[in-house]
Amino acid sequence: MISSLAITLPVIPEQAASVPVTATSDIQMDIRDVRKVYGGDADNSVVALDGVTLRIRRGEFISLLGPSGCGKSTLLNILAGFQPVSSGQILQNGRTITKPDPSRTVVFQDYALFGWMTVQQNVEFGLKAKGMPRKQRAELARSLINMVRLNGFEEKYPHQISGGMKQRAAIARALAPDPDILLMDEPFGALDAQTRVLMQEEIARISSAAGKTVVFVTHGIDEAVFLADRVVVMSPRPGRVRQEVHVPLPRPRTAEMRSDPWFVSTVNDLWETLKPEWQKGE
Ligand SMILES: Nc1ncnc2c1ncn2[C@@H]1O[C@H](COP(=O)(O)OP(=O)(O)OP(=O)(O)O)[C@@H](O)[C@H]1O
């Protein structure tokens, strides 16, 4: 039971009041006043992010939650190094992010597996690109396949396995280069409701076991709270950090925590806050 914690750690309206004291050396990602504008011409330009500031601790699991179009994917793409900021800065271990790097890998909603490669080959892909010898990469890939519980499916092609299995393979592939940070963009968005719940429990287990920092983009309030150490709620476009919720649930997260009173009331409170914006759409 965590109900005693529920009294001391409610949904926090102001970010500054809630942030635990963190040594600078524990900060892995430092997002400083980031603004992103798409389109150069002032009439057609879209301000996707404005003044986003966020510090992410090493090993922390962050859920980025917000209405459609608030800039969640934009922020994730910038963290990955796929897109530049328009202004502001993002530091990883004190260094500015300027391009993609194997220390940050991405899991997308649509799996992005190579259809002509088996599960084993997909997982090995990044290791081969890094020049790891064949035997070593085969062993490492097998242990990751084991971790995501796909043993027995190593020689299957993506079209021969289910959506949940494809996403497990994509997670194993993203973990293969041993990244510091795993970036996940609505990874379970294409799955049916039951598989989604099972995958949430899997990623909770895998991320704890692998000890990675995770940034997880989602529309799902219960998913965000179930998985995260901290839920970062974004405002409608232009995206800003409007609220942070520190989640006191212990790890490993287990299915029964979904009926904990703190969990239920936090999900309800967030829903009440976000409903008007989500009803409006973009
Ligand atoms: N390449 C682009 N060019 C122009 N506008 C873009 C581009 N990519 C995104 N946008 C716009 O920027 C805003 C933020 O988009 P983004 O995809 O980051 O939001 P999101 O919160 O991830 O949305 P969703 O939850 O629907 O995926 C939206 O208004 C979107 O239309």
Closest ligand 1 atom to 38 CA: 4
Residue 109 within any structural domain of the chain: yes
Nearest CA to ligand 1 atom 8: 74
The DSSP letter of residue 82 is S
Distance 281 CA to ligand 1 centre (A): 13
Per the listing, tokens 């940034």 go with 215
Closest ligand 1 atom to 39 CA: 4
Tell whether the model's pLDDT for residue 42 goes beyond 80.
Answer: no
pLDDT band at residue 24 under the 50/70/90 scheme: low
Burial (CB count <10 Å: 0-12, 13-18, 19+), residue 141: buried
Nearest CA to ligand 1 atom 6: 38
What integer pLDDT is reported at residue 20 of this predicted model? 52
Mutation test of ligand 1: which of 45, 49, 74 has the most ligand atoms closer than 8 Å to its C-beta? Answer: 74
Nearest CA to ligand 1 atom 16: 71
Residue 45 within any structural domain of the chain: no
Segment (H or E) for 274: helix 261-280
What integer pLDDT is reported at residue 175 of this predicted model? 87
pLDDT band at residue 52 under the 50/70/90 scheme: very high
User: Any residues with Cβ below 6 Å from ligand 1, and which?
Assistant: 38-39, 46, 48, 66, 68-74, 219, 237
Residue 51 within any structural domain of the chain: no
Residue 233 within any structural domain of the chain: yes
Q: Which of 40-49, 65-74, 83-92, 132-141 has the lowest mean pLDDT?
A: 40-49
CB of 230 closer than 8 Å to CB of 62: yes
Burial (CB count <10 Å: 0-12, 13-18, 19+), residue 54: buried
Segment (H or E) for 200: helix 193-210
Q: ipTM score of the complex?
A: 0.97
Average pLDDT over residues 148-156: 91
Phi, psi of 15 (to 5 degrees): -65, -40
Task: Name the residue range of residue 269's domain.
Answer: 58-83+98-280
Residue 23 within any structural domain of the chain: no
The DSSP code sequence of 94-148 is: TEE--S--TTEEEE-TT----TTS-HHHHHHHHHHHTT--HHHHHHHHHHHHHHT
Distance 196 CA to ligand 1 centre (A): 24
Tell whether the model's pLDDT for residue 108 goes beyond 70.
Answer: yes
Tell whether the model's pLDDT for residue 9 goes beyond 60.
Answer: no
Residue 93 within any structural domain of the chain: no
Q: What is the CA radius of gyration of the chain?
A: 19
User: Can you give the CATH number for the domain in which 155 is found?
Assistant: 3.40.50.300
Residue 253 within any structural domain of the chain: yes
| Pairing outcome for strands 230-234 and 241-246 | antiparallel
Average pLDDT over residues 184-198: 85
Average pLDDT over residues 207-228: 90
Distance 145 CA to ligand 1 centre (A): 33
Domain count, the chain: 1
Nearest CA to ligand 1 atom 23: 69
Average pLDDT over residues 39-65: 89
Respond yes or no on whether the N-terminal peptide bond of residue 236 is cis (omega within 30° of 0): no
What integer pLDDT is reported at residue 129 of this predicted model? 79
Residue 232 within any structural domain of the chain: yes
Average pLDDT over residues 94-111: 88
